[in-house]
Structure 1
Amino acid sequence: MNKHTLTTTAAAVLLAGVALTGCGKRESAESTAANSNDSVIAQAEQKGRDLKADASSGMDQAKQAGRDMAQDAKAATDKAGDKVADAVITTSVNAELAKDSSLSALKINVDTANGRVALRGTAPSEAARERATQLASNVKGVVSVDNQLSVEPGKG
């Protein structure tokens, strides 16, 4: 309640008291005015407590929203970092395969997810197929290698 409303309420109570005094009920009017003022003050104090509680709750919600946003940003950064790491692994495996004269990096598809490498395509021999697994396994960051290469002599 604002100051103007309190003043208006007090004035109304005072007028009621004057009117009742004229009727010979002075004590009753004073008692009514005192009770009304106490009630108005109690209501104002309660409104103040309610507003303070609402503000505190709002601050808590804002803090939690900030923590949630920070956590989401970290998760997004971690996910992006994982994608970059997987791309680096894929590129490194392709480079190692290209260095080997018995393997054709163009005939081997390398896919990486969470450090797990999958090799698909063809190898010219079983030895070349196994060599591809070994080369991929030696790349930094590789967790495992799923060699799905088929052996096709003359196509490696």
Structure 2
Amino acid sequence: MPSLDAARLRALVREAVARAGVRAVIGGVLHQGDEAVSAVTDTAVSIAPTPFGWLLPRTAGVVAHGGAGTTDAALAAGVPLAVVPHMGDQFYWGRRVHDLGVGPAPLPRRDLSVDALADRLEALADPDLRDRARMLGRQLRVEDGVSSAVEVIDELVRTPA
């Protein structure tokens, strides 16, 4: 999530992680320092850009802005996703993730607070949410979306109007 005040956002995230009692890997614009990985607190590390396909399956859950690519990566990894949308289609993906039962209700960026983020972090540990996310992840990983899209488009083109 881009931020005009990354230091303030980092502090908010650190406090929410502590309040929720979880461990965290903090990346993106919130990464600090020149090292690939650096300790932020006893329970949080900051990492340089890392391929989501490698990282996300190793997590218990993800908090992200809800862009299509990040949402796809989290869902395909089979982990719950808490969406903090701030523009465009991110609001749609936040609602969709929640409607699918694989993430808590979206938290619009304008409403982001330590308590609200801590609540979302705690929600990611819900066993039912985690089970649904795992099941959806398995389904997404076996689906050949490109072939399915080609079939649909081919059918639309071949069918007279």
Q: TM-score, normalised by structure 2?
A: 0.19
More helix by share: 1
Q: TM-score, normalised by structure 1?
A: 0.19
More strand by share: 1
Bigger relative CO (Cα 8 Å, ≥ 6 apart): 2
Larger Rg: 1
